[in-house]
Amino acid sequence: MYLLYNHLSPAIDPLSPENVLLVGAGLLTGIPALGSGRCDIAAKSPITGAIGDSNVGGFFAPEMRMAGFDHLVITGKAEKPSYLWIHDGEIEILDANHLWGKDTFETQTIIRSDHGDEEIKSLVIGKAGENLVRFANIRTGMKNSAGRTGMGCVMGSKNLKAIAARGTMDIEFAYPEDLLTYCKEIIDMVMKNRYSRAASKWGTLIIYSTTNTTGLIRTRNFQLNQLEQGWDLEPEEMDKYTIGMSGCYGCPVSCRHRYTLKEGSFAPIFAEGPEYTSLGAFGTMVDCKKMETVLTANHLVNKYGLDTLETGGLIAWAMELYEKGILTEKVTDGLKLEWGSEEVLYELIRKIVYREGFGNILADGFKNAIAKIGNESEYYAIKVKGMSNLHSDERPTPSLALGIATSTRGADHLRSRPAIDLYGLPEDFLEEIYGGSMSSDYRSYKGKSRMVWWQELLYAITDSLGTCKFQTVFLAVHAPKWEEYSKLIYLVSGMQYSTPQLMEIGERIYTIERMFNIREGFSRKDDTLPERYFEEATPIGLPRVKGLKIDREKFEKMLDDYYALHGWDNNGVPTNEILQKLGIEREPTQII
């Protein structure tokens, strides 16, 4: 975030050569624990105009470090399709004309073949990135996607088809033997919690069993909060298709399915996934009730290099607009955007990728699509700062609602989500974790600002270290956090950081992100929810969630408290006092 803030002048076009693309490994990247293969990719987002940032798993980041580099700062634009070749301390810019037009799977295979090395790891874009779809993602391996903020679109704008790495150099650790011993303790700690054990069998799909039963999932865009008769999307249904589980570098959990589809219009398919988010994007939000539909759509967006959530969110929105008569077949190229139509789902994915007809409207994201369709359509768009929310319904959960409203990237479940709020934990236990008083009822507003603030700092550190959020305090209470990170940092680098010091580093990261967004024109007015959260109550679900909506006055009070915890004023602007405390009162120190 420091590099991004210092490399960009305000108000540049995200698709111009002036935008930068940053690729970073973490301080713990390469340790044999915590899924330490994660890579962070950042730029100014072409879909929101705010912070563009995506964290992706797999094996690329350790390979880049073994090739001799921790961070890449990519500027300008190539004159023709190109790719970066990183190997043992050297970087070359190579011709990618033969790769242009290839899908994300083919591109990686061809690069390995060109260099005669099956161990090469690559970050690549597909047709969506080449065609500058604003929510195109970056892909590596079979499943790993750097999604949400359009980083694949930025790569495409630079004529950058891929970044390939192969390294045989050492990653040096300060205390390697002690580190190995402690990593075994960390693995045991992770695998003792129930979430990790369940995810090892069914992946993140296990979340669906609870959220859908309760009534915390948005269906038919935002009309319902539960998918009735959604049995075929239960995680156990994956047993029909799974041929094994796989995981990222240094991961003991292995939370993703390898699956095959032998029938259907796109068969045969061999793929990995789907995540819980894909289950919502291509299942609940568009009212498709077949697991095979989700698995097929999951494969298509991965092949083309599209963000799952943005694709599903835009299609669900369009379906509701069609139902309401705001969209007609004249605009949709004759397509009947009816709920549950898998044929329409697949065709819209294709149209978005190739920017054909109505797909060209959706390919530019919510802000531009609303401008073309009309202001009447905005009420039905479930977005924050121009980015689609995932398929969760946060009306019964104020803490999660505040999290998506304040996220620097736009609607987001990976910047601050205090998922353990759903567990009804004892209040004294919650106070011990979060350092303040709060209600154990997830429907309550009391103390929930502190939850969001604390999780923001933890997740900022987790991303900086290059480790997996699912192996920290996200869905498991007894998981590694500050204390464990502190010891790992010492064993890896010899540097010593206390919990307060790590929290201050997290605060510095998040405040820099806030400063970036303020510089781009964002303010308190953007830290809010779609109007439907305040106006429409949840129609179904268990009695404890039915009939709920977000109280506007209480939400604004939560926002005040949240700003105060960060040291920002009531407009969400960091005060001079907090900037001086964090040592960033003079940033940016340079615009490169």
Q: Following DSSP, what letter does each residue of 433-456 receive, concatenated?
A: HHSS---S-TT--TTHHHHHHHHH
Closest-CA residue to 124 (of 35, 112, 359): 112
* b (16+ CB within 10 A) / e for 456-467: bbbbbbbbbbbb
Q: Which of 487, 514, 497, 499 is nearest to 584 (CA)?
A: 514
Question: What's the chain's average pLDDT?
Answer: 97
Are the CB atoms for 387 and 48 separated by under 8 Å?
A: yes
3-class SS at 523? coil
Please tell me the distance from the alpha carbon of residue 238 to that of residue 554, in angstroms, as a whole number.
41
Cα separation, 344 vs 297, in Å, equals 11
Contact 376, 326 (CB under 8 A): yes
Residue 592 predicted with pLDDT over 90:
no
pLDDT reported for residue 555: 98
Of 40, 92, 128, give the one whose Cα is nearest residue 465. 40
The label of the residue with tokens 């079979």 reads 142
Point out which residues pair with 257 in neighbouring strands.
Answer: 245
Tokens of 465: 């270290």
- Residue 339 is encoded by which pair of tokens? 């709920």
**CA-CA distance, 59 to 246, in Å (whole number)?**
12
Q: Is the pLDDT of residue 483 over 90?
A: yes
Residues 156 and 150: their CA atoms lie apart, in Å, by: 10
Residues in the chain: 592
- Output 432-436 pairs: Cβ under 8 A, ≥24 positions apart: 433/473, 433/477
The answer, yes or no, to whether residue 482 has pLDDT greater than 80, is yes
**Using one digit for the tens of pLDDT, what is the confidence trace for 103-117?**
999 999 999 999 999
% of the chain exceeding 90 in pLDDT: 99
| 254-270-311 Cα angle (round to 5) | 85
> Can you tell me the mean pLDDT for 223-232?
96
Q: Which residues contact 208 (CB under 8 A, 6 or more apart)?
A: 217, 233, 234, 235, 276, 279
Q: Side by side, which strands form the sheet with 242-246?
A: 242-246, 256-261, 269-272
Q: Are 257 and 245 in contact (CB under 8 A)?
A: yes
Beta strands 160-166 and 82-87: pairing type? parallel
| Angle, in degrees to the nearest 10, between helices 291-304 and 308-324 | 120
Sign of torsion, CA 554 558 563 567? positive
How far, in whole angstroms, is CA 581 from its chain's centroid? Answer: 30
pLDDT of residue 577: 97
In this prediction the pTM is 0.97
CA distances from 557 to 91, 533, 550 (A): 51, 16, 12
Residue 1, judged by CB atoms within 10 A of its CB (0-12, 13-18, 19+), counts as buried
Which residues make Cβ contacts (< 8 Å) with residue 188, sequence separation at least 6?
Answer: none
Nearest-angstrom CA–CA distance, 305 and 312: 14
CA 573 to chain centre: 25
- The pLDDT of 242-251, averaged and rounded, is 95
**pLDDT at residue 390 greater than cutoff 80:** yes
Task: Give the burial class of 97: count Cβ atoms within 10 A of its Cβ; 0-12 exposed, 13-18 middle, 19 or more buried.
Answer: exposed
Q: Is the pLDDT of residue 126 over 80?
A: yes
Per the DSSP assignment, residues forming a β-bridge with 39 are 56
pLDDT by residue (tens digit) across 133-172?
999 999 999 999 999 999 999 999 999 999 999 999 999 9
Rounded to an integer, what distance in angstroms lies between the CA atom of residue 163 and that of residue 84? 5
Give the pLDDT confidence of 265-305 residue by residue, as tens digits. Answer: 899 999 999 999 999 999 999 999 999 999 999 999 999 99
Whether the per-residue pLDDT at 590 is higher than 90: the answer is: no
Distance of alpha carbon 33 from the chain centroid: 21
pLDDT in the model for residue 119: 97
pLDDT tens, position by position, 61-86: 999 999 999 999 999 999 999 999 99
* Domains parsed from the chain with CATH numbers: 2-166 (3.60.9.10), 204-388 (1.10.569.10), 398-582 (1.10.599.10)
Gap between the Cα atoms of 301 and 62, Å rounded: 26
Tell me: pLDDT of 416 over 80.
Answer: yes
User: Which residue shows structure tokens 């399915």?
Assistant: 257
Q: Which helix (H) or strand (E) holds 211?
A: helix 206-214
pLDDT tops 80 at residue 536: yes
Position 585 pLDDT exceeds 80: yes
CB count, 10 Å around CB of 118? 8
User: Average pLDDT for residues 121-136, to the nearest whole number?
Assistant: 98
Tell me the pLDDT tens digit for each residue of 299-357. Answer: 999 999 999 999 999 999 999 999 999 999 999 999 999 999 999 999 999 999 999 99
CA distance 227 to 354: 31
Residue 591 has pLDDT above 90, yes or no: no
Report how far residue 456's alpha carbon sits from residue 443's, in angstroms, rounded to the nearest whole number.
20
DSSP classification of residue 171: P
Distance (Å) of CA 420 to CA 97, 414, 442, 448, 567: 48, 13, 9, 12, 25
